[in-house]
């Protein structure tokens, strides 16, 4: 049952949580001058891969592509992390990447 509950439903159920996400995480942290959004995306995808956070990884891979990270760079990140975060975590990230790249209509998911 819990797998059917979307993040949007959680943010609606706990409005403060959504406010903190919007104002602090994406409004302040992601806008900080210390790192580019591209670098933040690479770091976030790496952390989510290492932690096996499939649902969040999907959205952040999409964000990474929008922030200028290439598909080849994400593939390289996944390969690199296989040796540091574990093979199963990297295989899971590869599955997510196939799905995300397929959503970009580039034919990578065949």
What does the pLDDT look like over 10-69, one tens digit per residue? 999 999 999 999 999 999 999 999 999 999 999 999 999 999 999 999 999 999 999 999
CB 97 within 8 A of CB 65: no
Q: How far apart are CA 105 and CA 110, in angstroms?
A: 11
Q: Which domain holds residue 22?
A: 1-34
CB 109 within 8 A of CB 102: yes
Same domain, 22 and 44: no
Residue 83: how many other CB atoms lie within 10 Å: 9
Q: What is the pLDDT of residue 109?
A: 38
When pLDDT is averaged across residues 100-110 and rounded to a whole number, the result is: 62
Same domain, 29 and 51: no
Same domain, 58 and 22: no
Q: What is the pLDDT of residue 104?
A: 66
Confidence of residue 105 (pLDDT cuts 50, 70, 90): low
Residue with tokens 């390969």: 79
Confidence of residue 1 (pLDDT cuts 50, 70, 90): low
Same domain, 25 and 73: no
Same domain, 1 and 48: no
Nearest in space to 54 (alpha carbons), one of 9, 1, 94, 104? 94
């Amino acid at each position: 049952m819990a797998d059917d509950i979307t993040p949007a439903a959680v943010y609606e159920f706990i409005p403060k949580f959504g406010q903190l996400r919007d104002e602090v995480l994406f409004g302040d942290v992601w806008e900080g001058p210390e790192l580019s959004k591209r670098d933040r995306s690479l770091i976030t995808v790496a952390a989510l891969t290492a932690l096996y956070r499939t649902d969040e990884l999907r959205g952040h891979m999409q964000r990474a592509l929008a922030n200028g990270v290439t598909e080849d760079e994400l593939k390289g990140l996944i390969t690199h992390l296989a040796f540091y975060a574990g093979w199963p975590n990297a295989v899971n990230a590869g599955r997510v990447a196939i799905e995300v790249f397929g959503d970009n209509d580039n034919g990578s998911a065949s």
